[in-house]
Structure 1
């Protein structure tokens, strides 16, 4: 076996062990051998390296079947920190997490991406990142910053941003066409980026409503609409990370235009602003705040025929859009997030699931369930941080000036670049 192959195998073994311990604190060496399929000797060696690196520790004991108690393992929360950024419809949210994925601090600036230029968003990101770093004092142990962004994030490695410019953002609906993602972050910290729907899918897949799901759909429904697709236990990326622009699929030929000018898209009918606009066009009087308008519509529907008709159409069209995904992807679970999606599912979840099943192939219709997002509005920032966590787990991440990578590589090693793999 070549040296390169051996290093790759060690790194993969390390990643499997570390991720399991992160997500399952209190694991034992024997348990790790069982779930990873590695030999007990290999697990013992990997665990020893991770303990030497200060990443995990012996955290307690549990009774064994005779003999000495069995030692349990957990990560050391303070060993590494990760920043997640959600550039969303209502503003910029920044959160910092430790290695146990505890949220230590958060900051928010109200600045809608749709109404702001990139320089303003960059300034808000800088302000919020500085705020959480000052509050926590963890700057030296930050591995990287993850960004959850509106639009298409393209990069040959799908998410890694090197030298402020390799990743490009194409957000047609807000006229950000070919923006260098690295220009949004001024800090000298490695940056990773993906579409917000994909980062939501990552958080739900690791820790939320899609945990343990090998084939699923995580829909983000706000003003815009996107989807993260879980296929074979990984987030489906596409050729250049662009998979998931579900909101721009056609549900009505030649129909209403969406924010990009494309007619008849799902977003043109089921996006949060589009729902309110359709109600106004039908004679309703929605609030100027689109979230309040959707709440008003849901409340008015039982006693107002116009509101009821708009809401019925919304349910049916969303069902059609979901059915298209069901017939294409054959998911075991559909998770609905985003402010508009959460409001619709909270009041109309059963009707939406029924509409999706009625428009799906019968065989597929009985093979999925539909649930709300576990993380609500916090999932995009967490998922953005998980982009960095995955890089750390895979052994290509820098902490406080040193590279944590394959076993026995120590302080002073050069930074290792390259995009993280899927979860």
Structure 2
């Protein structure tokens, strides 16, 4: 009987989680439960902090006899979650309520040349503490933490070191970070989390099939098929190392890294017909290149055309291989890709394998992985809310 009651309570909570205030009659209609059962369950959920009494409601028309119906509403502050983007160049952590409203953030920059795993763990921990302080949320109110890393992650939250030692350095056993605090922890590939964030924004989410392509320092893809994230036990779905063997692409180096490298190489070789020379070969970054291309700087335009050719091939490959509808460029570099996206779209009609493919830039920018981590953590809390 206790199990049945918990299942019924979960049905009520599931409806309330994604809706506004509701009366017992409305909950009876959507759950199929009796009035007495609904009222009992709502009282229990109020006592446990998941729901709150939200005043009363009279029938439409304003004229009815008897007491007005009591309304119930979900409490987004019933618990909190933490989402972390633990990238190679920086860490972004956020505390959010159960409706994904971020109430506190923290950011820490990292020197990508410092690869000490212990240092990285400490920096992630510091970012989490800073986000908690900014949110003024007590640690015991956290119900889950999700950390995104630039590495494949298996079902145990670990990253392999056999093919690439960099992966383990990016994920130095981060799955254990929640142990001392009593938090359930999930470690996930960053592109997968970006895909989850994009899925939440997708109007056609139940049928959507797309690749969320992180394109900063390295290419990595989160694959969504028919509204579901594709995930294999080894966690290597969407790894793009095979691009080393693709003619016209040549490596899995991402757009941000490529733009920076190509500009620095050209300037170091003496190229001076560009405003990028004023930035300096040792200081120029990808954002300088994309901004200069928008101003029709000759060197920047050459780099954008080079990147567009590579990216178009990557998108055509993904579209033809996976039969997906679109490729979404994600990450901090995405908002600056307007001219590059135009150049890519000009090449797409050349695609004989997926002529329907759409390519677009995410609106989430640098927040994509962290937003996906928050959503993943909320999904975990939602699935386990009433477990003893």
Q: CA offsets per residue over residues 56-88 of structure 1, 9 Å max, x none?
A: 335467786667688765421221100111111
Structure 2 Cα separation of the partners of residues 16 and 360 of structure 1? 47
Residue 8 (structure 1) shift: 9.4
Mapped contact 2:289–2:300 kept (Cα < 8 A): no
Q: Conserved in 2, the CA contact under 8 Å of 1:323 and 1:356?
A: yes
Aligned to 1:153, what secondary structure does the other structure show?
A: coil
Task: Map 1:254-273; keep pairs closer than 5 Å.
Answer: 264-265=250-251, 267-268=252-253, 270-273=254-257
User: 3-state DSSP class of the match of 2:363?
Assistant: coil
Q: Number of paired residues?
A: 367
Q: Which residue of 2 aligns with 1:310?
A: 303
Structure 2: 5+ residue runs without aligned partners? 272-276
Distance in 1 (CA, whole Å) between partners of 2:332 and 2:288 is: 12
Counterpart of 1:324 in structure 2 is 317
- Change in 2 beyond 3 A, CA 1:296/1:102: closer
Contact 2:220 2:239 in 1 (8 A): yes
Per the alignment, residue 365 of structure 1 pairs with: 355
Equivalent pair of 2:106/2:130 in contact (CA under 8 Å): yes
Describe the SS at the equivalent of 1:152: coil
TM-score by length of 2: 0.78
Deviations 1:180-221 (A, max 9, x none): 233556742221110111111112222468755532221211
CA contact (8 A) 1:318 1:352 kept: yes
Query: How many angstroms apart in 2 are the aligned matches of 1:20 and 1:233?
Result: 20
Q: Is the 8 A contact 2:304 2:340 kept in 1?
A: no
Instruction: Quote how far apart the aligned CAs of 1:95 are.
Output: 0.5
Native 8 Å contact 2:159 2:168 kept in 1: no
SS of 2:88's partner is coil
CA displacement at 1:26 relative to structure 2: 4.7
Q: 1:229 aligned to 2:229? A: no
Cα deviations across residues 252-275 of structure 1 (Å, max 9, x unaligned)? 34x78xxxxxxx22x23x431123
Distance 1:390 1:199 in 2: 12
Q: Is the 8 A contact 2:264 2:284 kept in 1?
A: no
Contact 1:204–1:210 under 8 Å retained in 2: no
Which of 377, 383, 408 pairs up with 2:372?
Answer: 383
For residues 147 and 82 of structure 1, the distance between their equivalents in structure 2, rounded to whole angstroms, comes to: 11
SS of equivalent residue, structure 1 residue 383: helix
Q: Is the aligned partner of 1:291 residue 2:286?
A: yes
Query: What is the aligned partner in structure 1 of residue 48 from structure 2?
Result: 53
Relative CO higher for 1 or 2, CA cutoff 8 Å, sep ≥ 6? 1
What's 1:349 paired with? 341
Residues 8-52 of structure 1 show CA distances to partners (whole Å, capped at 9, x for unaligned) of 9965x7667645544444567787788xx8536599489736445
Instruction: Work out the CA distance in 1 between the residues paired with 2:69 and 2:236.
Output: 46
Match of 2:164 among 169, 172, 177: 172
Q: CA RMSD in A?
A: 3.7
3-state DSSP of counterpart to 2:333: helix
Counterpart-to-counterpart distance in 1, 2:236 and 2:28: 36
Indicate conservation of the 8 Å contact 1:210/1:216, yes or no. Answer: no
Cα distance change, pair 216–53 in 1 and its aligned pair in 2 (3 A) = farther
Aligned counterparts of 2:28 and 2:209: Cα–Cα separation in 1: 25
Question: Could you list the per-position Cα deviations for residues 106-159 of structure 1 after superposition, in whole angstroms to 9, with x for gaps in the alignment?
Answer: 111111455332211211122222222234133221112110111111125xx5
Q: 1:77 to 1:198 in 2, by over 3 A?
A: same
For the pair 1:105 / 2:104, whether they are aligned, the reply is: yes
- Alpha-carbon separation, structure 1, partners of 2:51 and 2:374: 19
Give 5+ residue unaligned stretches, structure 1.
160-166, 257-263, 398-403, 406-412, 414-423
Q: Which residue of 2 aligns with 1:143?
A: 143
The structure whose Rg is larger is: 2
Structure 1 residues 51-60 or 25-34, which shifts more?
A: 25-34
Task: Name the SS for the 2:49 alignment partner.
Answer: coil
1:275 alignment counterpart: 259
Which has the higher mean CA deviation after the structures are superposed, 194-203 or 56-65? 56-65
Other-structure match for 2:92: 93
Between the aligned partners of 2:309 and 2:262, the Cα distance in structure 1 is 14
Cα gap change, 1:47 to 1:25, in 2 (>3 Å):
farther
